[in-house]
Structure 1
Amino acid sequence: MKRRQFLHAALGAGALAGFAELSPAMASLTWARRSLLGFGTTLSLQAGHEDARTLERALDAAVHTLRRIESQMSLFDPASALSRLNREGELVSPPSELAEVLDIAHNVSRDHDGAFDVTVQPLWLAFAAAQREGRLPDRREVRDARAKVDWRAVQVSAQRISLDRPGMAVTLNGIAQGYAADRVRAVLASYGVGHALVDAGEFAPLSTNSLGRPWTLGIADPHAERALLARLMTDGRCVATSADNLTTFSEDHRHHHIFDPHTGYSPTELSAVTVVADSGALADALTKAFFVAGPSQARALAHRWKVDALWVDKAGRWEATPGLRIEKA
Structure 2
Amino acid sequence: MKRRTFITSAIGAIAGAAGCVHSWQQPLHTGAALAFGTTISISVANADDELAQRAIAEALQAALAVDRLMSIYHPASQVYQLNRDGVLHKPDARLIEVLAKATHLSDISGGAFDVTTQPLWRLYTEAARAGGLPSDEDRRRAQALVDWRQLAFDADHIRFRRPGMALTLNGLAQGYAADQALAALQAHGVRHALLDTGEFTARGQKPGRQPWVLGVRDPRDPGALVTTLSAQGCSVATSGDYECSFTPDYRHHHIFDPASGDSPTELASVTVVAPTALEADGLSTAFMVMGWERAKALAAQLRAVDLMVVDKQGRSRRTAGFPGHA
Secondary structure at 2:269 match in 1 = strand
Tell me the C-alpha RMSD between the 2 structures: 1.5
CA shift at 1:49, angstroms?
Answer: 2.3
2:122 equivalent to 1:125: yes
Q: Which of 186, 193, 205 is 1:189 aligned to?
A: 186
Q: Look up the match of 1:322.
A: 320
- Superposed, 1:201-212 pairs within 5 Å as 201-212=198-209
- Superposed, 1:1-329 pairs within 5 Å as 1=1, 4-11=3-10, 30-306=27-303, 307-327=305-325
Structure 1: which amino acid aligns with 2:6?
L
Secondary structure at 1:107 match in 2 = helix
Assess if the C-alpha contact under 8 Å between 1:105 and 1:117 holds in 2. Answer: yes
Task: For structure 2, list consecutive stretches of 5 or more residues without a partner in the other structure.
Answer: 12-22
* Aligned-partner Cα distance in 1 for 2:262–2:279: 23
Q: Look up the match of 2:19.
A: none
CA shift at 1:325, angstroms?
Answer: 2.1
Deviates more, 1:189-198 or 1:299-308: 299-308
4+ residue runs over 4 A deviation: none
CA shift at 1:38, angstroms?
Answer: 0.9
Distance 1:181 1:103, change over 3 A: same
CA shift at 1:48, angstroms?
Answer: 2.2
Q: Look up the match of 1:16.
A: none
Q: Look up the match of 2:20.
A: none
Assess if the C-alpha contact under 8 Å between 1:5 and 1:220 holds in 2. Answer: no
Structure 1: which amino acid aligns with 2:140?
R
Assess if the C-alpha contact under 8 Å between 2:193 and 2:202 holds in 1. Answer: yes
* Aligned-partner Cα distance in 2 for 1:73–1:141: 27
CA shift at 1:126, angstroms?
Answer: 0.4
Task: For structure 1, list consecutive stretches of 5 or more residues without a partner in the other structure.
Answer: 13-18, 21-26
Structure 2: which amino acid aligns with 1:144?
R
Assess if the C-alpha contact under 8 Å between 1:179 and 1:281 holds in 2. Answer: yes
CA shift at 1:296, angstroms?
Answer: 2.6
* Aligned-partner Cα distance in 1 for 2:108–2:321: 23
CA shift at 1:273, angstroms?
Answer: 0.3
CA shift at 1:57, angstroms?
Answer: 1.4
* Aligned-partner Cα distance in 2 for 1:327–1:62: 28
TM-score, scaled relative to structure 1:
0.92
* Aligned-partner Cα distance in 2 for 1:154–1:298: 25
Q: Look up the match of 1:23.
A: none
Per-residue CA distance 1:196-233 (angstroms, 9 max, x = gap): 00101101111111121111100000011211010011
CA shift at 1:305, angstroms?
Answer: 2.2
* Aligned-partner Cα distance in 2 for 1:111–1:299: 13
* Aligned-partner Cα distance in 1 for 2:60–2:323: 30
* Aligned-partner Cα distance in 2 for 1:196–1:144: 46
Per-residue CA distance 1:236-272 (angstroms, 9 max, x = gap): 1110110001101111000000000111000000000
CA shift at 1:155, angstroms?
Answer: 1.2
Per-residue CA distance 1:93-112 (angstroms, 9 max, x = gap): 11111111111001110122
* Aligned-partner Cα distance in 2 for 1:160–1:227: 46
* Aligned-partner Cα distance in 2 for 1:299–1:82: 32
Structure 2: which amino acid aligns with 1:312?
V
Secondary structure at 2:134 match in 1 = coil
Secondary structure at 1:304 match in 2 = coil
Identity within the alignment, %: 44
CA shift at 1:327, angstroms?
Answer: 4.4
Assess if the C-alpha contact under 8 Å between 1:49 and 1:192 holds in 2. Answer: no
Distance 1:327 1:214, change over 3 A: closer
Assess if the C-alpha contact under 8 Å between 1:274 and 1:311 holds in 2. Answer: yes
* Aligned-partner Cα distance in 2 for 1:194–1:296: 36
Per-residue CA distance 1:260-289 (angstroms, 9 max, x = gap): 011100000000000001111111111111
Structure 1: which amino acid aligns with 2:324?
I
Secondary structure at 2:79 match in 1 = helix
Structure 1: which amino acid aligns with 2:260?
T
* Aligned-partner Cα distance in 1 for 2:90–2:231: 38
Assess if the C-alpha contact under 8 Å between 1:6 and 1:221 holds in 2. Answer: no
Assess if the C-alpha contact under 8 Å between 2:213 and 2:325 holds in 1. Answer: no
Secondary structure at 2:301 match in 1 = helix
TM-score, scaled relative to structure 2:
0.93
* Aligned-partner Cα distance in 1 for 2:90–2:259: 31
